[in-house]
Structure 1
């Protein structure tokens, strides 16, 4: 890799590599130390092509969600099975990982600007600006930037566009899927909202069970599925469909509680879940 080689967005890859190494090292204990991140699906990451992959996920904090995914993706590609043990995987990170974020968020301070250099596709939100509800047209240049990123590598997006759970899926994600036909990989995360503050920069509470489930790619008929059908598939895949709000049976709650106790015991004793 040439010292000044750039990606399609003009970022120097040498600088990006060192930023990932440094930030990854500084944040590692947030997911394996203060808390223990339980991962499921590393083998799916290793099966994916190098480009045109869209990760869709529920959203719990501004930055910690994405940082955790950078750790998990690179650890998985370094043949770690559902583990981010030993940060050596950061030495040769995948440099064509991008994530979609609100432009105003990525301009709010020095750290967000540094994180933006790591891989942000900064777009203008059509429904929210400066803490107020707005209604504006989608900028085609924003859609084109996401397409450019997919052409170069992997893109992470949070189709609800908010950290508030069970909010509607934004149709823009479905339009992007129809237009660029990426492999769509759902991810379901939990525990981040309890572990960190809203921005995901400060550890709010330790010894919280965090989880990240990487699911098999969605089956999508790019030509025939409607926008509404794709939106519904996304809702179910990232477990944000209204049906998930229904009452959970008591026996299922008890089984989940037992699993949580086991996870906590494993985390306290620094042992893998299985």
Structure 2
């Protein structure tokens, strides 16, 4: 890697590599120490092409979710199946992993800005800004940047655009799938909401078993499936379709909503 080599977004790769290394070492014990990350299906990662892969996942914290994905992906690529034992895998990280994040989140403080350099594709929310409901058009530059990232590597997105469970999936993800025809890998996570604060920076509780399930690639008829059909397929894949509510006790749903409210007023 040349010392001054940049990625398509103008970030120096040597700086990005060191940021991933440092954050990887600092955060490792959050998933293997204070709490345990139970991984399933990571053998899928090794068989993926180097570019045009889209990971879709439910969302529980701002930063802990995507940090876990960096750990799992890089551990898998180094030969560890369903394990992040021995953080040495982070020394030579995959450099073309990106994640979609809200622009206002990644500008909220120095730490967020530093983390953004490690791979964030920042987008403007079309439905919410600074805690208020809004209604604005999709910024075409945001869509182009996601396409640019897919052309260069892997992209992680949380299509609900919120950490609250069972919220609707945004149609923008379906448009990206139709337009760019990536390999789409669903991921289902759990336990992060109980382990961390809403931002995913502070450990809230120890001894929590966090689960991380990687599923087989989804199959799409890119030409004939409608946006609505793709959205529904994504909802089922990441287990956020309303039908899943029927198998979750009402008391547990209420606890999740109460926790979300408490965190919302705490930040």
TM-score by length of 2: 0.92
1: CA distance between counterparts of 2:10 and 2:100? 17
Deviation at 1:247, TM superposition (A): 3.2
Give the aligned partner of residue 63 of structure 2: 63
Q: How many residues get paired?
A: 249
Give the aligned partner of residue 260 of structure 2: none
Give the aligned partner of residue 117 of structure 2: 117
- Is there any run of 5+ residues in structure 2 with no aligned partner, and where? 250-267
Deviation at 1:42, TM superposition (A): 1.2
Aligned Cα root-mean-square deviation (Å): 0.8
Give the aligned partner of residue 163 of structure 2: 163
Give the aligned partner of residue 104 of structure 2: 104
Task: Give per-residue Cα distances to partners, 1:136-166, cap 9 Å, x unaligned.
Answer: 0001110000000000000000000000000
Q: Name the SS of the counterpart of 2:114 in structure 1.
A: helix
2: CA distance between counterparts of 1:228 and 1:35? 38
Deviation at 1:77, TM superposition (A): 0.2
Give the aligned partner of residue 18 of structure 1: 18
Runs of 4+ in 1 over 3 A off after TM superposition: none
Deviation at 1:46, TM superposition (A): 0.5
Deviation at 1:65, TM superposition (A): 0.1
- Give matches, 1:108-257, under 5 Å: 108-247=108-247
Task: Give per-residue Cα distances to partners, 1:181-221, cap 9 Å, x unaligned.
Answer: 10000000000000000000000000001010000000111
Deviation at 1:248, TM superposition (A): 5.7
Q: Name the SS of the counterpart of 1:5 in structure 2.
A: coil
Deviation at 1:2, TM superposition (A): 0.2
2: CA distance between counterparts of 1:213 and 1:225? 26
Q: Name the SS of the counterpart of 1:189 in structure 2.
A: strand
Give the aligned partner of residue 259 of structure 1: none
1: CA distance between counterparts of 2:2 and 2:77? 23
TM-score by length of 1: 0.90
2: CA distance between counterparts of 1:208 and 1:193? 10
